[in-house]
Structure 1
C-alpha cells in the first residue's frame, strides 16, 4: 500500500525546489527526491556478524538558463538548504557553456498514465527475526554435506524507498517500492581443493521469497557441483 500522505509531503518539497528555481532566474528546471530505509543482517559460522540499519535521503535539482545547465544536490530538506541548493545550481549554470541539446523533453513526451506496478510490500521484520532467518539459511547449507567446510555467511536484506520526480512543465509524480532478499555463500573442500558458490532469492514481496533452508541447500548444492 502506498503511503500517499508521505508521497504528497515529498511532492511539496520537489515543488518548492521548482518554485525556488524560477525565483532565482531559471528558465526551466527538474528536481528529484528519494528516501530509503532498510535493515541488513548477516550471520556467519553460526553467529551474528553484522546488523545494519540505514535511513538515507537526498534531493537534487537541475536548472536551465537558456541552453546553460547546472545541477546541485543535498541531503538536507530544510527551506534554507533548498534555497542554497538551487543557488548553487544556478551559479553553476551561469558558468557553463551553452549546449544546444540541454533542456527538458517536449511536453507531449511526458508520461500521463501511471499504472500501479504493485512494487510496494513492506516487510515488518525485527532484527531478531532477520537473525533467525540468516542462521537457519546458513545452517541448512553447512549441514548438507561434510565437504561444506566453511561459510561466507547468510544475509537478510529489507529495503523500502520513496522517490519523487518533477519538472517545470507540470510533471510531478512519486511512488514507493520495496526490495527484500535472502542470500547465502559457502565454501566446499574436496581433495585439497576449495570451491565457492552461492544462491539467493529477491522479491518486492517478502512472502514470495524462497525459504531460508531452500536457499541454503541450493547454495551448498551449487558449491558441491563445481
Structure 2
C-alpha cells in the first residue's frame, strides 16, 4: 500500500484551506487533511470469508467568526472540495450562536519540537499472505482444544497506513504518518450442549512486533475452551480480581470522569475532587505521550498543542484532568494537550505476581469478561455483568457465568489491594490485574 499524496502536497492542501477560509471571512481556522489505506481479511473454516481493501480521504475544517464556530467535512481533497468545506463551515458559523470559549488553542502552546516516535512501519503483505496468516491463526485455535467448533470460529488480519496533517491560522502545519497491524481470533467452544465464545487479538505499529499468528489463535482457543462448564455463584460480598486486560476498563471510567466535557457539564463522579484521594495511596497513573511505537503516542494533540509527560494520579491523589482548549476555557484553566484524548496511560502500584495475587484474593471471583455499560457517570455507581472463575483459598475451582458485579467507583478505587505484574498494553492503557475487595456479586448457586 502507498499513499496517493506525498507529505508536501498534503501539507499544501491543509495550509491552502486555512488561507482560503481566512480570505472568505474567517477570523481563524483549523483543518485536518487525512488519507488512509487498509486491507482486512477474515477467514472461517480454513477459507476466506471476506476481504476489504479500501482507501479514504477526508478534509475537516473548523472556522471562527466573531466567536461563532462552524465545522464541515468533505470526503476528498480537491480544490472544489476545499471551497465547499469553507462555504459550509462559514455558513454554519454565521448562523450559530456566539460562544466566548470557542477558538484556537493559544499560539504559545503550539508544538515546536517533534520527536521521531516510530509510528510508521508499513507491512508489505500480499492478500494471499494475509489469508495464509489468518488461516494459521484460526487453525491454531482449533488445535488448542477439541471443543473448538471449526465451522463457527474465525480469525482476521488487518493492516493499514494513514497520514494526517493538522494546520491552523497560527501558522502551525505538521504531518504525522502512522501504521496499525492487527491479528485476531474469535473461537467458539461447544460441549454437552453448552456454547462459549472468547478470543484474543494483538495490535502493533510494527508487524515484526506482533506475536505469532499461531500464538494468538492458541490463546483465543484456550480462552474459549476454559469457559466451558461455567456455573452461577451465590450472591454476596466477595473479593474480585479484574484480570488484565479487563482491568483497563476501570481506568477508562476514571479517564471519562476526568475529561473536560464531563467536568464542565457537571456530569462527572470526580466533580470537585481534584487534588483529593480517589485511588488507593499506592496507585500512580502517568501519561507518557512520547513512548516509541505506541498506539497513543503523539507530539501534539488535535489542536497542535505540544504534549508532555505528566502525572495524572500520584499516591492515589487525582491531580490531572484531560482538557482541550475549549473545555479548559469553560473551566477557567489551561488546556492539558488532550484535545482528541489521552496519550499512553500507565498504572503502577503495589505489585504482586500471579500466585501472590490469587493468594491475596483468597476466596472470590476472577473476572475475565465484563458485559454491559452499567456505570453511572454522574455518581460512579457500578453494575456490570461478568464471567470468569471462582477461586477458593487461592485455587481456581470452576468457571463462572452469568454473574453481576456492583459497587461504586468512589469506593472501589480507593480500596485497590494490588496491581498484577501481568501488565498489558491495549492501545491506551498499560495496566496489570487489579484486586478490589468486598464487592457485591450477584448470582445463584
Same fold, TM-score > 0.5, yes or no: yes
Deviation per CA, 1:182-204, whole angstroms, max 9, x where unpaired?
10111111222111110111100
Shift of 1:88: 1.2
C-alpha deviation, 1:111, in angstroms:
1.3
Please name the residue that 1:116 is paired with: 116
1:39 and 2:39 equivalent? yes
Equivalent residues of 2:162, 2:177 under 8 A apart? yes
**Which aligned segments of 4 or more residues in structure 1 are displaced greater than 6 angstroms?**
none
1:63–1:71 contact (8 Å) kept in structure 2: yes
Match of 1:74 in 2: 74
Conserved 8 A contact 1:7-1:175 = no
**CA shift at 1:152, angstroms?**
3.0
The normalised TM-score by structure 2 is 0.49
Deviations 1:142-169 (A, max 9, x none): 1232211243310010010000101000
Displacement of 1:17 in angstroms is: 0.4
Q: 1:76 offset after TM fit, Å?
A: 2.2
Higher RCO (CA 8 Å, separation ≥ 6 residues): 1
User: More strand by proportion, 1 or 2?
Assistant: 1
Partner of 1:130: 130
The separation in 2 between residues aligned to 1:38 and 1:105, in whole angstroms, is: 32
Indicate if the aligned counterparts of 2:138 and 2:153 stay in contact, CA closer than 8 A.
no
Structure 1 position 192 matched with structure 2 position 189: no
Which protein is richer in helix relative to its size? 1
Stretches of structure 1 that go unaligned for 5 or more consecutive residues are none
Displacement of 1:30 after TM fit?
Answer: 0.5
Partner Cα separation in structure 2 for residue 93 and residue 87 of structure 1: 10
In structure 2, the partner of 1:141 is 141
Please give the secondary structure, in 2, of the residue aligned with 1:148: coil
In the alignment, what sits opposite 1:105? 105
1:153-168 map, 5 Å: 153-168=154-169
Q: Secondary structure at the match of 1:54?
A: strand
Partner of 1:85: 85
Q: What secondary structure does 1:149 align onto?
A: coil
* Residue of structure 2 equivalent to 1:16: 16
Q: Number of residue pairs matched? A: 223
Gaps of 5+ in 2: 228-445
Q: Which moved more, 1:103-112 or 1:47-56?
A: 103-112
Matches of 2:78 and 2:190, distance apart in 1:
56
* Whole-angstrom distance in 1 between the partners of 2:8 and 2:176: 10
The separation in 1 between residues aligned to 2:65 and 2:196, in whole angstroms, is 57
Q: How many angstroms apart in 1 are the aligned matches of 2:149 and 2:128?
A: 26
Displacement after TM superposition at 1:101 (Å) = 0.5
Task: Calculate the aligned-residue CA RMSD, in Å.
Answer: 1.3
SS in 1 for 2:123: coil
Distance 1:221 1:145 in 2: 7
Contact 1:70 1:90 in 2 (8 A): yes
* 1:32-73, Cα deviation, whole Å (9 max, x unpaired): 111110100010011110011010110011111111111111
